[in-house]
Every structure is written in structure tokens, then in C-alpha cells.
Amino acid sequence: MGLWPHQADSLEQAFNHARQYAQKLEGWLLLIGGYGCGKTHLAAAIANFCVGVGVPTLFITVPDLLDTLRFAYDDPEATFEERFEQIRQAPLLILDDFGTQNATPWAQEKLFQILNHRYINQLPLVVTTNLSLEQIEGRIRSRLEDPELVSKVTIKSPDYRRPAGDTGHPELSSLDLLHELTFATFELRKDENLSPDDRKNLEKAVAIARQFAERPKGWVVFTGLYGCGKTHLAAAIANYRADLGYPPLFVVVPDLLDHLRATFNPDSSISLDRRFEEVRTAPLLILDDLGTQAMTPWVREKLYQLFNYRYNAELPTIITTSGTMDDMDPRLRSRMLDQRLCTIFALTAPTYIGKPRKPSRPYTRKSRP
């Protein structure tokens, strides 16, 4: 399966970290990534290497670990305390699929006791999870966030079970529908009766978009009337990055909210948390038509969480809106008005009318000779 460069790079970095960790067994290694990205394979490779050089290793999925402890209460051959001690004192412990367990208070407490013991004694530990750190229980998260002990590696490659070529955001992104909107197809409208100021404004908007496409940094907000060129410029940035092998997530805001709501369906194959994490951590996010959504309290909160995360992480973001800053939720507006991070550019050109198409003859399929 073909991978985009940033996905292949993350996989190579994870492989190198895993190999180095297996050779030294210093500190903890935290492997984060989606299903099928390779994190369990790397954890198992570490285990096999260490067993091969004589290091006693316990490799276990977290749900199985908890079942082992529960069954120990009725096991005549080993007490619960003995089994618990074997786990937390293992020379190398590898916890696979952390976060898939049933998070009962008892389970959370036992996991904390294991991790806290190994944290205090700085015993080698490998953890794999498809959760973000924000989704992990606070006491455990504080241990996993210690940069002096923990090496955190995020794998961005997709599920290897997906069909070849499916490496982007097929369910979320609208970019495939906008593949013709590039810088080459953006018209400066020289045939239209634009004022000199509007023409300069349009040229400056293209320059800002090109600069961002070449080096995505900070936020850019394009405002203006419907049809003035905002979406075309946003799509041109997205297509430029995709052609370089770094496809962004391009999504219309009302569509995004529909995707989030769809996770409430019991038949949904993805949770709200995982879908939302995919959006807010996208290396480059393009939000088209902000302000056209119905602003329910739930929508306000989700948009604020999205904006606030990307604001604090300073993740590159493009926003288009036909509204004004005064129309925005104050919490969103405060992020966009921070000039250290965000550039707001208002397109002043009127709605694009375009050239009238010449009548074409009806198409008739010709038979092959």
C-alpha cells in the first residue's frame, strides 16, 4: 500500500525508536496510533528481541491483564497478590491496546498501581494505545507525559488492511470534489470591471495563499462574500500540499458537524472521541464555510474545543467564512484575532460571475473502427 511521505516518515521513526529501545531498555516507550498502523507489531518485535537476548518479558493486552487479575481471586495455584506482583515487577512489561479495557474504578485503580510502581522504580515499560493522552485517566496520563522518562511516538500511517491508495481522510475530506481548484485555475478576473483596489486585493490574497501553501505555518482566515474566491484559494492550498504528498483535511464545517453527529449512531464503526481526534490533530486542517452551521450549545462547544486545541498546539489551519468577526462566537473570535498566530484577510472583490460558456454540440459517442 502506498503511503504519503509524512505517514512513511512516522512509521520509520517509530521503527527506529522501537529498535533503539529494545537494545537499551531505558525508560518507557509510548506508541500511539490508529488501528492497524503497526504499533502492536513493533511492540511484539521488541518483546521477541528481548526474549532472544535473555530478558524476561511479559507481553499482554490490557483487557487480558485485567482478566488475569480477576481470575486470580479464584485460582488455587496462585494468590492475587502473587499474580499482581509478577506483573508489576516484570523485568520488561509490554501493555498492548491500552484504553480498550472496561474502565471500571477497579480496573483504573489496578492499572494505576502497576504503572505507578514501575514509574517510581523506573522499570522498563512499553505501552501501545489508539487513544490520545487527553483521553487517558488523569493519574496515569501524568506518568505518561513525563518527558524525562517517556518517549512518545505517534504513528500516522493508516490501517494496513485498507485498500491500496486509501491514505487520506476518505470519509471526511471534500478535497476529491475540488481537485480542479488550483492556483493555475484561479482567475484574477482581468476581464471583469474590477476596481484597481479590488484587483490588488485579489492579487494579495493569492500571494498569501501561495506563501502558506509553500510553508504552512499559523492560521489564515479568508473572509468575503459568497463566490469571491475564498474556497478556491483554500482548495488550491490543499491541492498544492496534496501534490507534494502531504494531503490536508479539507472539510466544510456543516459537513464536519454531521460527521461528528453520525458517531452517535449505535451502528457507527468509529467513536466520537476518535473522529474528533482525527480532525483536531490533522497536520493541516482547512475549515470551509465557518458560520453557516446552526449554533446549538453542542456545536459551540465542539467548535471551541477544536479551535482551542489547534490554537494551543499552533497547528496550521485555514478558515474561510462569509461572516464578520463580530458574528463569531467570542471564544472563537479571540483565537482568530491573535495576530501572533493568525492572519485575517478580507477579499473585497464581488461575487465571481465567470465567462459565459459557448454552446457546445451534443456529445455523440463514436463507435470504434
HEC string for the chain: CCCCHHHHHHHHHHHHHHHHHHHHCCCEEEEEECCCCCHHHHHHHHHHHHHHCCCCEEEEEHHHHHHHHHHHCCCCCCCHHHHHHHHHCCCEEEEEEECCCCCCHHHHHHHHHHHHHHHHHCCCEEEEECCCHHHCCHHHHHHHCCCCCEEEEEECCCCCCCCCCCCCCCCCCCHHHHCCCCCCCCCCCCCCCCCHHHHHHHHHHHHHHHHHHHCCCCEEEEECCCCCCHHHHHHHHHHHHHHCCCCCEEEEHHHHHHHHHHCCCCCCCCCHHHHHHHHHCCCCEEEEEECCCCCCHHHHHHHHHHHHHHHHHCCCEEEEECCCHHHCCHHHHHHHCCCCCEEEEECCCCCCCCCCCCCCCCCCCCCCC
What is the pLDDT averaged over residues 145-170? 71
User: What is the share, in percent, of the chain residues with pLDDT greater than 90?
Assistant: 58
Specify the pLDDT at position 3.
65
Q: 166 falls in which pLDDT band (50, 70, 90)? A: very low
| Residue 228 binned pLDDT confidence (cut-offs 50, 70, 90) | very high
Say which CATH topology domain 5-155 has: Rossmann fold (3.40.50)
* 147, 197 Cβ separation under 8 angstroms: no
Does 175-346 match 5-155 at the fold level? yes
Residue 221 — φ and ψ, nearest 5°? -115, 120
Burial 291-330 (b: 16+ CB within 10 A, else e): bebeeeeebeebbbebbebbbeeebbbbbbbbeeeeebbe
pLDDT band at 102 (very low <50, low <70, confident <90, very high): low
- When pLDDT is averaged across residues 184-201 and rounded to a whole number, the result is 87
CA angle, 257 then 259 then 260, to 5° = 65
What confidence score (pLDDT) does residue 100 get? 64
In this prediction, residue 287 carries a pLDDT of 97
Query: What pLDDT, on a 0 to 100 scale, did the predictor assign at position 360?
Result: 43
Query: In which band, very low, low, confident or very high, does the pLDDT at 168 lie, cut at 50, 70 and 90?
Result: very low
Q: Higher-confidence residue: 33 or 4? A: 33
Residue 161, pLDDT score:
53
Average pLDDT over residues 200-215: 96
Q: Is the predicted pLDDT of residue 34 greater than 90, yes or no?
A: no
What is the spatial distance between Cα 181 and Cα 235, in angstroms, rounded to a whole number?
Answer: 6
Residue 108 has pLDDT above 70, yes or no: yes
How many residues comprise the chain?
A: 369
Q: What local confidence, expressed as pLDDT, does residue 172 receive? A: 79
**pLDDT one-digit tens code per residue, 43-58:** 999 999 999 999 999 9
Using a cut of 0.95, tell me whether the model's pTM lies above it. Answer: no
Exposure b/e, 75-106, CB count within 10 A at least 16 = b: eeeeeeeebbeebbebebbbbbbbbebeeeee
pLDDT, residue 164, reads 41
268 pLDDT above the threshold of 90: no
Please state, in angstroms and rounded to a whole number, the distance separating the CA atoms of residues 241 and 59: 40
| Beta carbons of 251 and 286 less than 8 angstroms apart | yes
Q: Residue with C-alpha cell 485555475?
A: 185
The span from the first CA to the last CA of the chain, in angstroms, equals 39
So where are the chain's domains?
5-155, 175-346
pLDDT confidence of residue 197: 93
Considering the chain, what is the average pLDDT of its residues? 87
Quote the pLDDT of residue 352. Answer: 82
Say which residue, 100 or 301, is predicted with more confidence. 301
Q: Give the pLDDT confidence of 320-369 residue by residue, as tens digits.
A: 999 888 888 999 999 999 999 999 999 998 988 765 544 444 433 333 33
Cell numbers given for 203: 492579487
pLDDT at position 160: 65
On the question of pLDDT at 128 being above 50, the answer is: yes
Nearest to 319 by CA among 292, 299, 350: 292
Q: What is the mean pLDDT of residues 275-290?
A: 91
Sorted by sequence, the CB contacts under 8 Å of residue 199 that are 6+ apart come out as 188, 189, 190, 349
Mind listing the pLDDT tens digit for each residue in 234-261? Answer: 999 999 998 887 889 999 999 999 999 9
- CA–CA distance from 366 to each of 122, 362, 363, 369 (Å)? 75, 12, 9, 9
Q: What is the mean pLDDT of residues 262-275?
A: 85
CA 337 to chain centre: 24
pLDDT of residue 354: 63
Instruction: Select from 3.40.50.150, 3.40.50.300, 3.40.50.920, 3.40.50.1260 the CATH code of 175-346.
Output: 3.40.50.300
User: Which has more confidence, 273 or 220?
Assistant: 220
Q: Is the pLDDT of residue 37 over 90?
A: no
Mean pLDDT confidence for 174-193: 86
pLDDT band for position 72 (cuts 50, 70, 90): confident
